[in-house]
Amino acid sequence: MKTSLEVLKQELLDNNIHLSHQRLKVLEYLIQNHNHPTVEQIFTDLHKDISTLSKTTVYNTLRVLEDAGLVRVITIEGTETRYDIEVENHGHFKCKSCGKIYDFEIDMNVLSSPDLEKFQISDKDVYFKGICPRCSQH
């Protein structure tokens, strides 16, 4: 499994990133919660276990993980930033009614454009919005 903790820990070590207690907890949290949590959610939940945890640390850690390419930042809406363990080939759908974000499989490799011939592309994000099945059956 690609998102196993052990594999990711090794990736951090390969990137010369120190595996502190807090960082591991954030990483574990993201592995166990694929529901695209916000910083607030991550902080609130982890705070129950680590009472000394600071929100700044959560921000710092997420940036470290993002820079290492382990975590994907979802900015589908300007008002909220969400985080996701990096998984290839999927887009994000946000329901305008209930607000839930769904993953969907999509082949990013198909996504290319002659306009970008000379561009170096490092990130591809696909965001859809609309109404999810649960909300549309009202």
- Contact set with a copy of itself (CB under 8 A): 73, 75-78, 81, 91, 93, 96, 102-106, 110-111, 113-116, 118-133, 136
By CB under 7 A, is residue 56 in contact with DNA? yes
By CB under 7 A, is residue 23 in contact with DNA? yes
- Which one of a copy of itself, DNA, none is in contact with 120 (Cβ closer than 5 to 8 A by kind)? a copy of itself
By CB under 7 A, is residue 41 in contact with DNA? no
How do strand 90-95 and strand 80-85 relate by DSSP bridges?
unpaired
Cβ atoms of 101 and 90 within 8 Å: the answer is no
| 14 vs 115 by CB, closer to a copy of itself | 115
- Identity of the amino acid at 2: K
Report the alpha-carbon distance of residue 60 to residue 2 in Å, rounded. Answer: 24
CB of residue 53 to a copy of itself, shortest distance in Å? 22
Phi-psi region of 89 (alpha: psi -120 to 50; beta: other; left: phi over 0): left
What does the block give as tokens for 39?
A: 């910083």
Cβ atoms of 12 and 70 within 8 Å: the answer is yes
Nearest CA to 110 out of 129, 91, 93 is that of 91
| 43 vs 93 by CB, closer to a copy of itself | 93
| 11 vs 108 by CB, closer to DNA | 11
CB of residue 37 to a copy of itself, shortest distance in Å? 15
Residues that bind DNA (CB under 7 A): 17-18, 20-23, 38-40, 50, 52-57, 59-61, 63, 78-81
